[in-house]
Structure 1
Amino acid sequence: MVVIVWFKRDLRIADHAPLLAACGSGGEVVPLYIIEPEAWAQPDASPRHGSMLRPALEELDAALRRRGSCLVVRRGEAIEVLDALRREVAIAAVHSHEETGNGWSYARDRAVARWLREHGIEWREWPQGGVVRRLRSRDGWARQWEQRMSGDPLPAPGALRLPRALLPLRERSLDLGGLPLERNDLLQAGGRIAARDCLESFLDGRGAGYQRGMSSPLRGAEVCSRLSVGLATGAVSMREVVRRTRAARNAGEAMTPARDLVSFDKRLHWHCHFIQKLESQPDIEFRNVHRGFDGLRETGFDSEAFGRWCRGETGWPFVDACMRSLLATGWLNFRMRAMLVAVSSYHLWLHWREPALHLARQFSDYEPGIHYSQVQMQAGVTGINIPRIYNPVKQSLDQDPEGEFIRRWLPELAALPGSRIHEPWRMSSADQRRYGVRLDADYPLPVRDHLQAARQARDRLFAWRGREGMAEQSRSVLARHGSRRPAGRRVIAGDAAPSASRQADLFGG
């Protein structure tokens, strides 16, 4: 009997139920990864994501080789690849984790399921993390999450047997040709080794000050766990992270203060809470969670303003510094991600879909479930979250008072003192000559007056929210997606003045 273990976004051998079950079947096992050209052609995909996958795939292959097997990498569409394998070996079953991915992967899996049924091949899928497939109600979801996280992570399997027809693959080096890559030394390292190092260093004191520092664009890169890449690729499992964090805290062996670890633990729960929304409503990648907001921003898309936002050329220094930092490094802390979305949604009045795709391509840790739920929340179209219209100047003064972050990413403003750098458009001609910065030449003037734009956005949004039937639809969204406290009291993530710190590590941690 031959069992295929289809690796997707679960690139590890530890705490991997499909792999362990396949090994326990007593037959031969084909560890399979498919490089799918159509997946990489989707508008949310970028070579940046391939750069995160490559080390995880290489480490997975090395771990499998130590157990007598190897990672079988094929290129093509999933059904074509599986059909070709069926002609090489007698496939009895396919084992994999459930995947909550983008709309393309959802349609792909449905097509694969039909094909496997037609050919009499069993497909067994195991839950991934705390996301529950076919969830009927959010009531009790938090308890289910805790139950899944409570057990010890599954051990890595022992020896694996490849089918005889595929044994020659062990003599060859792993070939990842066709996997798009970005050559960029500023990107975070991917793979299991890097992810586990991130976790240990976070527990060993790097996370000290996490509660406060996570909101800072300067400190966030240091004090945040930086596990989001490892979790997005599945190089580590959520259960591994939860169990290790709690064990270190309970044993008193962590150098990071307990209050920071408790805060981090909560955010691991929120991580799955947001992915659950996409699992329960796959179309939120494309449509407003609250359909009553349809038509709010879909027309009159300002392509010029969108382009300036994408390039970090809005003329609002802190906004531009955040975008350019993201373009260069692939990472940004949660509060700054939220601000970028809010600025595009309110100050520029852009429908969220195109900004969401741009950000998806830039985030090294792109996780569709978290991404689209959070983008819609920050765009104010969920109907159950209080809109947050960030003031880009106030954020600049609060988070980067000396202008250090701005100077790092906007070198054209490096000569400006702290009294000028947050609002350079207020400089007189004399000041521009004094500091050697020419507005609208070296650095652009603001795309618009941010205070006026915020007032207009607030008036338009609240007028729309007051329309007939909006409240009823909000209650429906609440019933479907709102979180519940274990005691039964309904709570919405961000429903009561959502704080950036509350969700930090799940959207850029």
Structure 2
Amino acid sequence: MPSQDSALTMLSLVWFTRDLRVQDHPALSLAAAGGRVLPVWIADPAEWARPEVSARHWGFLDDCLRGLRADLAELGQPLILRTGDPVEVLTRLQAKHGFLRLITHQETGSAWARARQQRVADWARGAGVEWVALAQGDGPVLPAPPLPMVVEGTGALPGLKALGLAEDRCPYRQPGGRAAGLQLLESYLSVRGQGYSPATATALGAERAGSRLSPYLAYGVLSPREVQAALAEARQRWRGNSDWSGALRALAAQLRARTQAQDALPLMPPGDTPATGPWADGQTGLPFIDATMRALAATGWLDARSRALLAAVGVHHLALNPSAVGLHLSRLCTDYDPAIHWRALQSVALGRIPDPVAMGQRLDPQGAFIRRWVPELARVPDAHLHAPWLWPRARKLLAGRYPEPVVDPATAGRAARAERTPVPRPLVTPRKRAPKGQMALDL
């Protein structure tokens, strides 16, 4: 055990992964309590070569890291950015600075990410470095600690080409970073959530009134404890106001489900080929399905029920490989969190086979969502918007503009129910029952 004097000057390295904040950061607080801190984030090329990630994830992450860099600099110690294999990066930093502890948070992501963390833990033990992997924890929200300066070059983020990432235009992507997350949280609990009920919300209603906090929780710019604390304050503020009960209950339930999903065993999705073709291109001829795919491609976000329906049609009605469906959606979702995404896909693949036309009518009863994202259907009357192939003038007016459906949804649904092809077992190995019924905990 180090003496009290040596503990006050101990140098610890904090390895940031999906915890890109300084507030309520147990690893940073523990390190700062013992002395000086090297805060490090590593761009691992092997991680960005994986088929489930894309340049839109990198863009959101870039926003988050810019905010983290500014926050750490304000505390006294800038963020150190490095590119390479984490073991090699840490070996070089340890040889230069001789840090005694390596502190991080427990990995709750994919099996691949947990295996990488275990490899770093093995390196630390072999190098004589104390390895500490903390749970994010319960209790009060931790303040950001002051950090004494350590002289080390801050480095820079690599570009897309250096990581082998193709450009991925997402024109309406949510901005990343803590400031944007806090603004959304405050607006949801003070204005936008009033009267919101996920059970009855339309696709457009969820877009406007849902919290949309999932990407900020996925990258850890907000901690679940911070959101819980803000939720508790909102409950006191809106006590007795029935207009707020639905939104507050929804946020609490989603936070519980997120914790349950991240406590389960890690997953490794089989295969490495995302889905392609009409479903992936938003050209199935099923208007609401095409609208949801196009919206997701343009924004990086989709409400939970629409996302579940989109995945279900791919898996069941079009008989696409569940892993290929999951990989395509993971690349589009800015809130991609592997601990949640693959269990949610398993729930969809093993769950009820929906009627995409009936569900689309429930989620977009006025057709406004379809008209926004599928402008080819502008001349189709409202009565036929969800099933334009039943409109007598469809063949004449839509030929060459919008495709006929690639499957008859009713026939394909009956066939899928009759076959119920099992999902490949390697897709998921749950420790406890996964949360039901949603493609993603998109909040």
* TM-score relative to the length of structure 2: 0.89
Task: Give 3-state SS (helix, strand or coil) of 1:32's partner.
Answer: strand
Task: Give 3-state SS (helix, strand or coil) of 1:313's partner.
Answer: coil
1:264 aligns with 2:251: yes
Aligned residue number for residue 122 of structure 2: 114
What per-residue deviation string (whole Å, max 9, x for no partner) do you get for residues 43-90 of structure 1?
011011111111211111111111221000001110111111122211
1:86 aligns with 2:94: yes
- Between stretches 72-81 and 346-355, larger displacement belongs to 346-355
Whole-angstrom distance in 1 between the partners of 2:237 and 2:190: 13
Aligned 1:92-103 pairs, distance under 5 A: 92-103=100-111
Aligned 1:31-430 pairs, distance under 5 A: 31-128=39-136, 148=138, 151-158=139-146, 160-164=147-151, 166=152, 169=154, 175-178=156-159, 182=168, 184-212=170-198, 215-252=201-238, 257-277=244-264, 280=265, 282-283=266-267, 285-286=269-270, 306-380=276-350, 387-428=351-392, 430=393
Aligned residue number for residue 143 of structure 1: none
What per-residue deviation string (whole Å, max 9, x for no partner) do you get for residues 278-330 of structure 1?
xx2x245349xxxxxxxxxxxxx9x9x95111111111111111001101110
* TM-score relative to the length of structure 1: 0.78
Q: By how many angstroms is 1:212 displaced?
A: 4.1
Over the aligned positions, Cα root-mean-square deviation in angstroms equals 2.5
CA 1:342/1:104 → structure 2, altered by over 3 Å: closer, same or farther?
A: same
Q: Which amino acid aligns with 1:265?
A: A
CA 1:274/1:22 → structure 2, altered by over 3 Å: closer, same or farther?
A: same
Q: By how many angstroms is 1:388 displaced?
A: 1.4
CA 1:252/1:209 → structure 2, altered by over 3 Å: closer, same or farther?
A: closer
Q: By how many angstroms is 1:215 displaced?
A: 4.0
Question: Where does structure 1 lack aligned partners over 5 or more consecutive residues?
Answer: 130-147, 288-300, 381-386, 466-472, 483-491
Question: Where does structure 2 lack aligned partners over 5 or more consecutive residues?
Answer: 1-9
Contact 2:283 2:403 in 1 (8 A): yes
Aligned 1:430-449 pairs, distance under 5 A: 430-433=393-396, 436-438=397-399, 441-449=400-408
Contact 2:238 2:244 in 1 (8 A): no
Aligned residue number for residue 19 of structure 1: 28
What per-residue deviation string (whole Å, max 9, x for no partner) do you get for residues 96-150 of structure 1?
1111112321221121111111111111011136xxxxxxxxxxxxxxxxxx2xx
Task: Give 3-state SS (helix, strand or coil) of 2:27's partner.
Answer: helix
Whole-angstrom distance in 1 between the partners of 2:57 and 2:326: 15
Contact 1:36 1:77 in 2 (8 A): yes
- Between stretches 213-222 and 411-420, larger displacement belongs to 213-222
CA 1:431/1:66 → structure 2, altered by over 3 Å: closer, same or farther?
A: closer
Q: Which amino acid aligns with 1:36?
A: D
Contact 1:9 1:232 in 2 (8 A): yes
Aligned residue number for residue 507 of structure 1: 441
CA 1:329/1:152 → structure 2, altered by over 3 Å: closer, same or farther?
A: same
Q: By how many angstroms is 1:397 displaced?
A: 1.7
Q: By how many angstroms is 1:247 displaced?
A: 1.7
Q: Which amino acid aligns with 1:437?
A: L
Contact 1:401 1:418 in 2 (8 A): no
Contact 1:306 1:350 in 2 (8 A): no
Whole-angstrom distance in 1 between the partners of 2:342 and 2:12: 34
What per-residue deviation string (whole Å, max 9, x for no partner) do you get for residues 187-210 of structure 1?
011110010100100011201232
Q: Which amino acid aligns with 2:441?
A: F
Contact 1:214 1:223 in 2 (8 A): no
Equivalent pairs, count: 423
Q: Which amino acid aligns with 1:406?
A: I
| Percent of matched pairs sharing the same residue | 38
CA 1:36/1:431 → structure 2, altered by over 3 Å: closer, same or farther?
A: closer
Q: By how many angstroms is 1:257 displaced?
A: 1.1
Whole-angstrom distance in 1 between the partners of 2:200 and 2:300: 17
Whole-angstrom distance in 2 between the partners of 1:152 and 1:237: 12
Contact 2:105 2:133 in 1 (8 A): yes
Contact 1:275 1:368 in 2 (8 A): no
Q: By how many angstroms is 1:254 displaced?
A: 11
Whole-angstrom distance in 2 between the partners of 1:61 and 1:254: 41
What per-residue deviation string (whole Å, max 9, x for no partner) do you get for residues 194-249 of structure 1?
10100100011201232147742111111111110110010010000011111221
1:481 aligns with 2:420: no
Q: Which amino acid aligns with 1:444?
A: P
Whole-angstrom distance in 1 between the partners of 2:278 and 2:112: 29
Q: Which amino acid aligns with 1:285?
A: P
Contact 1:205 1:254 in 2 (8 A): no
Contact 2:22 2:144 in 1 (8 A): yes
Whole-angstrom distance in 2 between the partners of 1:46 and 1:71: 24
- Between stretches 42-51 and 95-104, larger displacement belongs to 95-104
Task: Give 3-state SS (helix, strand or coil) of 2:41's partner.
Answer: strand
